[in-house]
Amino acid sequence: MSTTADVSQDLLPEVSEFLSASLQKAFVNGAWVEASGGQTFDVVDPGRGAKIATVAALQKADVDAAVDAAANAFEGSGWAKMPVAERSAALHRIADAVEARKVAFSQIEALDCGKIYEQAEADVQNFIDTFRYFANLAQQVNYRSVIGVQGHEAWVARHPWGPCGFIIPWNFPFLLAGWGLAPALAAGNTCVLKPAEDTPLSALYLCKIVQELDLLPAGVLNVTTGLGEEAGAAVSSNPKFRRMSFTGSPEVGRLVAESCGRNLIPVKCELGGKGAAVVFEDVDIESTAEKLVGAITFHTGQVCCDATRWLIHKDIYDKFVGECVERMKAVNIGYQMDSAAQMGPVVNPTQRDRVLGYLEKGVAAGAELVLEGGAAEVAGCGGYYVKPALMAGSLDNVAAREEIFGPVAYLAPFATEEEGIRLANDTDYGLGNSVWSSDLVRCARVAEAFESGNGWINAHNVVVHGVPYAGIGKSGMGGGVVSPETLNDYLRPISCVRPL
Ligand code: NAD
């Protein structure tokens, strides 16, 4: 395993200027606001462990004011009543504005969450694609569908709901902001977004561009920066929302769902995962090993739908594991802005300790360390680096059952198709599993037999606009993202009926 620390990319002047602000304020009702009591929190570059911003930590009253702004904008700004074509054009203008500043957004995102620059760029492109996808889809929706029933004139009309809340995590800050905001805005709703405290900067840069170019009426998009227990809890408990969306851990998801339940606000939760890859004996061993190693080291394993349990047919187990070990040893760990780096840091010291802690707990419970892992140093960087690791043993092990959220995969052999499916499904989570085989009939059978929201074939982490993406069990509830169903979730149906 090698490490590298060259910074081969200079920051754009506009990024340096954005980061030079003494305080990054929240964006409420089209204006920049501080916390009412002046509270702030620091944001750190995970690759260097150095502070890059001080951000307003909004309190409950501040968040409530943002929700009021969103409610007023829904009623009074004209956004909700605007012809669909005009609203879609506004979403396209946002996509165009982000595209024109793609490098700036990517630099901010990479610095803020420690993501390898190319991966940050792909996330920014995904945001652009999401806005365009929902802008186009909104023009194809039937906003008034007639129902043919005997003795009655009947139809269903679809309108936006009102203010919608979004609480998102730190692993894909800008991409997930797009997945939440684009369908809600395309349907005519107004939004309050609470970014994670580790990674609020790309959402604030979006607000800066929206304000400068006058891309949305005031109050349609509000970003309430702050800590989870304060600003997050204030979002999830506000009774004026009409829809809520939470992406993050199952533990916090439960709290948000409880709050929404008390207010009878529909909530969708996109939560954690413990995905399996079921690898059959007829695969191309080298290319499959390459892809799974690529998946578990992508964004340093901080991916909810990752393949973290690798179930490998017993006939190829030893050779397959050997190939994986060699590839993982060769991964170049480095600063996220270094073009030679393949795997960057984890997001914060807590996350690093969590990954290292699971290696310890797993071994204490009997797992074998096939590839040791552990903390990594990158010369000249004081950031939070870990090495990729492979564990093996009983699938009852704590490291095989709980979400680690790092570059750690747990290995186990299986003998028959039934056993492979059973082991993959033996988890509380249900987000994304994959099957790997050259027998495509078997692949289709196994993919359908997974008890998860997504069954992928000869690939992992496959999320495509237009295909519903959601989790079941401890991985989520209440509907998914990036599909026509998502847009529908942001439209309130009303049945209108007249007896003839
Ligand atoms: P987290 O649950 O700790 O935090 C998520 C968000 O909730 C943050 O904005 C945080 O400030 C806020 N929050 C914290 N406490 C809160 C409270 N009491 N009330 C309201 N909001 C509160 O999650 P994380 O550590 O930021 O992200 C990692 C988790 O997210 C992992 O479990 C991962 O699998 C999951 N995730 C899921 C998906 C998906 O699509 N299913 C996508 C990305 C991440």
* pLDDT (mean) for 461-473: 97
Nearest-CA residue for atom 16 of ligand 1: 228
Nearest-CA residue for atom 19 of ligand 1: 233
| pTM, full prediction | 0.97
Whether residue 12 is predicted with pLDDT greater than 60 in this model: the reply is yes
- Please say if 304 is a catalytic residue: yes
Q: Ligand 1 centre from 248 Cα, in Å?
A: 2
Q: Ligand 1 centre from 200 Cα, in Å?
A: 13
Q: Specify the residue for token string 């073009």.
A: 339
> DSSP 3-state assignment of 39?
coil
Task: Give the strand pairing for 243-247 and 267-270.
Answer: parallel
Q: Ligand 1 centre from 232 Cα, in Å?
A: 10
Full strand arrangement of the beta sheet holding 152-160? 144-149, 152-160, 491-499
Distance CA 372, CA 40 (A): 39
C-alpha distances in angstroms, 294 versus 77, 212, 351, 408?
46, 39, 20, 12
pLDDT value of position 399:
98
Q: Do 311 and 279 form a contact (C-beta atoms < 8 A)? A: yes
Q: Do 95 and 128 form a contact (C-beta atoms < 8 A)? A: yes
pLDDT value of position 29:
98
pLDDT 10s digits, 158-185: 999 999 999 999 999 999 999 999 999 9
Whether residue 2 is predicted with pLDDT greater than 90 in this model: the reply is no
453 lines ligand 1 (CB under 6 A): no
271 lines ligand 1 (CB under 6 A): yes
Ligand 1 pocket test: pick from 43, 63, 166, 167 the residue with the most ligand atoms within 8 Å of its Cβ.
Answer: 167
- CA terminus-to-terminus distance, the chain: 76
197 lines ligand 1 (CB under 6 A): yes
pLDDT value of position 276:
98
Whether residue 7 is predicted with pLDDT greater than 80 in this model: the reply is no
Ordered DSSP codes for 15-27: HHHHHT-S-B-EE
Burial class (CB in 10 A: 0-12, 13-18, 19+), 202: buried
Predicted confidence band at 418 (pLDDT cuts at 50, 70, 90)? very high
Q: Do 450 and 338 form a contact (C-beta atoms < 8 A)? A: no
Burial class (CB in 10 A: 0-12, 13-18, 19+), 461: buried
Nearest-CA residue for atom 15 of ligand 1: 228
Whether residue 417 is predicted with pLDDT greater than 70 in this model: the reply is yes
Distance CA 260, CA 384 (A): 35
255 lines ligand 1 (CB under 6 A): yes
Predicted confidence band at 13 (pLDDT cuts at 50, 70, 90)? very high
Whether residue 5 is predicted with pLDDT greater than 70 in this model: the reply is no
Where helices occur in 264-409 by DSSP H, the ranges are 285-297, 317-329, 349-364, 398-401
Nearest-CA residue for atom 36 of ligand 1: 248
pLDDT value of position 53:
98
Give pairs for 250-258: CB < 8 Å, separation 24+. 250/474, 250/475, 252/228, 253/476, 256/167, 256/232, 257/477
Identity at 229, one-letter amino acid code: E
Give the active site residue among 113, 269, 304, 324.
Answer: 304
**Structure token pair of residue 246:** 């939470």
Nearest-CA residue for atom 11 of ligand 1: 228
Distance CA 264, CA 272 (A): 24
pLDDT value of position 1:
52
pLDDT value of position 498:
98
- Please say if 207 is a catalytic residue: no
233 lines ligand 1 (CB under 6 A): yes
Ligand 1 pocket test: pick from 249, 351, 483 the residue with the most ligand atoms within 8 Å of its Cβ.
Answer: 249
Ligand 1 pocket test: pick from 247, 404, 461 the residue with the most ligand atoms within 8 Å of its Cβ.
Answer: 247
Burial class (CB in 10 A: 0-12, 13-18, 19+), 297: buried
Instruction: Work out the number of other CB atoms within 10 angstroms of the CB of residue 2.
Output: 12
CA proximity to 71, closest of 178, 160, 143:
160
Non-local (6+) Cβ contacts of 446 within 8 A are 278, 417, 420, 421, 435, 437, 455
* pLDDT (mean) for 274-298: 98
Whether residue 153 is predicted with pLDDT greater than 70 in this model: the reply is yes
* pLDDT (mean) for 202-214: 98
pLDDT value of position 333:
98
Secondary structure element (H or E) that encloses residue 155, with its range: strand 152-160
Mean of per-residue pLDDT scores for the chain:
97
Phi, psi at 47, each rounded to 5°: -75, -25
Nearest-CA residue for atom 43 of ligand 1: 304
* pLDDT (mean) for 341-357: 98
Distance CA 61, CA 452 (A): 39
Distance CA 268, CA 255 (A): 13
**Closest atom, ligand 1, to C-alpha of 196:** 9
* pLDDT (mean) for 464-486: 96
pLDDT 10s digits, 307-338: 999 999 999 999 999 999 999 999 999 999 99
Q: What percent of the chain has pLDDT over 70?
A: 98
pLDDT value of position 23:
98
Nearest-CA residue for atom 28 of ligand 1: 248
* pLDDT (mean) for 135-143: 97
Whether residue 3 is predicted with pLDDT greater than 70 in this model: the reply is no
Identity at 150, one-letter amino acid code: Q
**Closest atom, ligand 1, to C-alpha of 475:** 41
pLDDT value of position 31:
98
Where helices occur in 166-316 by DSSP H, the ranges are 173-186, 201-212, 233-236, 250-263, 285-297
170 lines ligand 1 (CB under 6 A): yes
pLDDT 10s digits, 363-413: 999 999 999 999 999 999 999 999 999 999 999 999 999 999 999 999 999
Distance CA 248, CA 232 (A): 12
Q: Ligand 1 centre from 131 Cα, in Å?
A: 23
pLDDT value of position 9:
65
Task: Give the strand pairing for 163-167 and 190-194.
Answer: parallel
Give the active site residue among 270, 323, 402, 417.
Answer: 270
**Closest atom, ligand 1, to C-alpha of 403:** 32
Predicted confidence band at 430 (pLDDT cuts at 50, 70, 90)? very high
Q: Ligand 1 centre from 405 Cα, in Å?
A: 12
Ligand 1 pocket test: pick from 55, 171, 175, 481 the residue with the most ligand atoms within 8 Å of its Cβ.
Answer: 171
pLDDT value of position 220:
99
